[in-house]
Structure 1
Amino acid sequence: MHRLRRRPATASRTTTGTVTAAGPADSVLLTVDGLRVTVADGRAEAVRGVSFEIRRGEAVGIVGESGSGKTLACRSVLGVLPPGCAVSGGSIDFAGSSLVELPRRAWEDLRGTRIAAVFQDPASYLNPSHTVGHQLSEQLRVKRRSSRREAHQTGVALLETMGLHEPEQVYRQYPHQLSGGMLQRVVLAIAVSGEPELLVADEATTALDVTIQAEVLELLARLRADRGLAVLAVSHDLAVITELCDRVLVFYAGELIETGPTAEVLDAPRHPYTEALLRVASVGNWERRTLDVIEGQPPPVGVAISGCRFADRCAFVTAQCRSGPVPLTGAGDGRAVRCVRAEEIVLSGAGVVA
């Protein structure tokens, strides 16, 4: 176990059609306000009124069980929701411009330049028929209008920046010739080749072994420091969020139920669900050969619940918890929690496995 470390936050607003140039460091880059996302062609609501901000150079993490709405929220920011899913309410503002109903041409100009993404399985995002250098240089030629020679030089330099040894050789290799860690570095090189202001990382380190995972996290930290890159990271691994992120958003059943500085939220959670996540993320009791679990199941997507959506699984539930909607309430020091008993109950952080 280790104690959670607090990272200091580092780090424009206009209107529609095209997204305008960067603002000053430490200004708000992304504002998501009251986001609602429906699935099954509008028959069920999977993200319910989620709001958060990301400042320039800041890393914000999203955690929660599968199906909690984490990836749908991120894909809404990227404008790449799956078929049958749609933003049904709220707003997404990037550098002062609305991303909701942004024209397709504007999205093509935005993605790969000012907003980029990396996902869990890098091999699935690379064409096995082309060398990684061809795919990296193609991105540079399309997004940065580089000449063939400039794209080659910049591509090799990017691969070297990503910590790949013998980058010229890697540039000429095909995806199947590289390991998973090397592929993730190649995908990162492609993602940052357009010099983005925001990187969305959805389970970007999940498939990597712990040594390579640590190297990729160090690489992301260096990109933030060198380029002022803001990061929106989704992960089931709380140790990854601890290492990378300044603030954390805890999702449950489509709602944001707790938020605040990462170290403070995970050291001293104020929502019973956050405490339960920390508990099940620990190593369990190996003397009894048991692992902790959260009893019960999340409510089905789209089901109407009048009170707290975690009530059926909560050890602290009372009649008040079920009596009506529970707002996300400020709890001081940049924290907020969606729990009517947050001031009454005492929870403890379980720590995170390094």
Structure 2
Amino acid sequence: MATRRPAVPQPETTGSTLGVTDLRVSVAHGQTAVRDVSFDIAPGESVGLVGESGSGKTLTCRAVLGLLPGGVRVEAGRVELGEGPTAVELTGAGRRTWNQVRGTRLAAVFQDPASYLNPSLTIGHQVDEQLRVRGGLARAEARTRTLELLLEVGIHDAATVYHQYPFQLSGGMLQRVLIAIAVSLNPDLLIADEATTALDTVVQAEILDLVGRLRRSHRLSLLLVTHDLAVVAESCDRVLVMYGGEIVESGPTEQVLNDPQHPYTQALMRVASIGDWSRRTLETIAGQPPAPGEELPGCRFAPRCPLAAAECTAAPVPVVELGDQRAARCVKVAVPA
């Protein structure tokens, strides 16, 4: 059985911070790497996106952020930030639109913080720059706000760190700085793509606690990308399980982790770092996930699935709605009466 920390206050479920509909991303030569991905995130909600390396998690996030690498493009679908009169369609958006929403309504934190900070500029200068250029603050106002942000993300000696350079800080401290920059202009949505993967266990827990506090204080929506189900169990209201470029299962975190319906989710649970270790040995999932762009008939997990039958590869497998916000992409899932 999966375990979780005490639940955070439930988010308001009215409205949508992010809506992704039938997203399809292609790589070189038109090969499809992400196919028919749909999900939404409510205001203040935390959603986990999990799966093995190569499952399409990062491509999905970079499509939402408009940061796909060269040769990769959104082939179909919609990505909409917000709804109603303030909604912004991000699919095919131009530079002006991206400049208006990145940092202000949409922010991101990635895995290696040192790669996203300028080694030749002080920490204070880099946080100030966001506040002055994007936030319109005067120099003195920006400095005051920067010190407040550094304290807010748990950097206690903020006045000293303000004048230091990235090489003088640890990985955990640098990640806190990036989070400070990300939330500095109170965005609606924060995307954290493997933001704690390179950190040790203690620092990882501290960063996750920090993100949880910021969610509540800033009323942030969060899309947390990870391969670690234990992180999702502690931090997310809902979970999306991704395999081979498709979402194969989704639903409230406790329900999905305690009663997984898709064979891939069940396999992930058997190899996950959560549960009762005294009653089982470490397992692996046999075989390899499909390469990005590789086309397979029917279920993309079928070549590795112990339950696979002829019907699994006969035709594309649709998503089965299971009720209570749950869904799974499997022919063997029982359809509710």
Q: Aligned to 2:17, what secondary structure does the other structure show?
A: strand
The AA in structure 1 aligned to 2:38 is S
User: 1:55 maps to what in 2?
Assistant: 42
- Does the alignment pair 1:46 with 2:47? no
Q: Tell me if structure 1 keeps the 8 A contact 2:229–2:273.
A: no
- 1:325 matched to 2:312: no
Paired AA for residue 87 in structure 1: V
Q: Distance in 1 between matches of 2:56 and 2:109?
A: 18
Q: Does 2:108 align with 1:121?
A: no
Aligned to 1:93: 80
Query: Who is 2:294 aligned against?
Result: 303
- Determine the C-alpha separation between the residues in 2 that align with 1:330 and 1:102: 32
1:135 aligns with 2:123: no
1:33 match: 21
How far apart, CA to CA, are the structure 2 residues paired with 1:2 and 1:286? 11
* Residue 2 of structure 1, CA deviation: 5.8
Q: In structure 2, how many angstroms separate the alpha carbons of the residues matched to 1:54 and 1:88? A: 22
Alpha carbons of structure 1 residues 158 and 243: separation in structure 2 relative to 1, 3 Å = same
The alignment's TM-score, normalised by the length of structure 2, stands at: 0.93
| In 1: Cα distance, 2:92 partner to 2:2 partner | 44
**Which ranges of structure 1 fall in alignment gaps of 5 or more residues?**
12-24, 345-354
- 3-state SS in 2 of match to 1:60: strand
The 5 Å alignment of 1:1-354 reads 3-5=3-5, 6-11=7-12, 26-40=14-28, 42-95=29-82, 96-282=87-273, 291-343=282-334
CA change 1:284–1:145 in 2 (3 A) is closer
Distance 2:242 2:33 in 1: 11
Aligned match of 1:19: none
AA aligned to 2:3 is R
Aligned length: 330
After TM superposition, give the deviation of residue 283 of structure 1 in Å.
Answer: 7.6
1:3 corresponds to which letter in structure 2?
T
Change (3 A) 1:324 1:31: same
In 1, Cα distance between equivalents of 2:151 and 2:14: 29
| Residues in 2 aligned to 1:72 and 1:7: alpha-carbon distance in whole angstroms | 29
Letter in 1 for 2:218: R
Question: Over residues 292-344 of structure 1, what are the superposed CA-to-partner deviations in whole Å (9 max), with x where a residue is unaligned?
Answer: 11001112222222211111111111111111111011011110000111229
Q: Is the 8 A contact 1:35 1:92 kept in 2?
A: yes
Tell me, yes or no, if the aligned pair for 1:8 and 1:246 is still in contact at 8 Å.
no
Taking the aligned partners of 1:234 and 1:324, their CA distance within structure 2 comes to 29
1:352 equivalent in structure 2: none
Superposed structure 1 runs of 4+ greater than 4 Å apart = 5-8, 283-287
Residue 140 (structure 1) shift: 0.5
> How far 1:8 sits from its partner (Å)?
4.8
The percent identity for this pair of structures is 56
| Maintained 8 Å contact 2:14/2:43 | yes
Equivalent-residue separation in structure 1 for 2:275 and 2:226 (angstroms): 20
Cα distance, 1:4 vs structure 2: 3.3
Give the CA deviation at 1:97: 2.0
TM norm structure 1 = 0.89
**Cα separation, 1, equivalents of 2:195 and 2:273:** 21
Question: What is the DSSP-based 3-state SS (H/G/I as helix, E as strand, rest coil) of the residue aligned with 2:299?
Answer: coil
Offset, 1:216: 0.9
Question: 1:76 is aligned with what amino acid?
Answer: A
Quote the offset at 1:7 in angstroms: 4.5
RMSD over aligned Cα, in angstroms? 2.0
Deviation at 1:291, TM superposition (A): 3.2
- Check the 8 A contact 2:320/2:333 in 1, yes or no: no
Partner Cα distance (1:225, 1:8) in 2: 8
Q: How far 1:84 sits from its partner (Å)?
A: 0.8
